[in-house]
Copies of this chain bind each other. A is one copy, B any other.
Amino acid sequence: MSKPAVSGISDQTLSRLPYYLRIIDEAKQAGKEYISAPAIAAELKLHEIQVRKDLAAVFSENGIPKKGFSVNKLLADIKDVMGTDKIKKAVLVGAGSLGSALLSYEGFSEYGMQIVAGFDRSKKKIGKTIGGKPISSIEFLSEFCRQHQIKIGIITVPADSAQEICDLLVSAGVLGILNFAPLRLTAPEQISIQNVNMAASLLMLSQHLRQQLEAQELETEKKL
């Protein structure tokens, strides 16, 4: 709060915050007042220096040599940066299997987001309720976003129509887009687009897996 910081936090650091949050929260539960970078690093198998740098980026005060960082203050600052306190409303477009999945997923609120409505083109979906959220026709998307001051849109439509939906969201005043479609969307510079691609995670996994299996086969061959 006291630091102008906010903008100076790298995406890499941001992506580690949820991990820190958890560890520090545990420390609080355990009644600890201070926690040190080496302790956190050990827990997360990260480098001590990285943790120190990350904490420095979000922490409004300084750590105390020999003791570490105030658990309570760290928690407050991290939560502040994460913006967990003020829940932001979002709409989701594309109630297919992934879309339905996300509509039913309750974990978003933990990170400051709440999906308030779903939209789809299919008449089969329109009118239904998924995960407690009503599904409406895409016709009403713009109107809804404007009326409810929606700033976040989640795109779970097929790649073909993703750009079109993106344009629609942007024209309705949405500023941030969480894109699950396997393409890179085009939008004005001030719109922030986060591409979530599980395909990539799967690829990396199966790549490593393949290497691992090959290594195992080599081992077996040697033994024979």
Which residue numbers of A lie inside 8 Å of B, CB to CB?
6-7, 9, 11, 14-15, 17-19, 22, 44-46, 81-83, 88, 97-98, 100-102, 104-108, 110-113, 131, 151-152, 159, 175-178, 182-184, 186, 190, 192, 194, 196-213, 215
Contact = CB atoms under 8 A, between A and B. Distances in A.
Total identical chains: 2
B44 A184 contact: yes
Contacts of A102: 101
Contact of A45 (B175, B186, B209): B186
Contacts of A106: 97
Contacts of A204: 11, 14-15, 192, 194
B15 A206 contact: no
B178 A205 contact: yes
A22 to B, nearest CB: 6
B152 A205 contact: yes
A18 B197 contact: yes
A184 B186 CA distance: 33
Nearest to A158: B107
A11 B205 CA distance: 10
Nearest to A203: B14
Given A18-B203, A107-B97, A203-B15, A212 B197 contact: no
Nearest to A185: B45
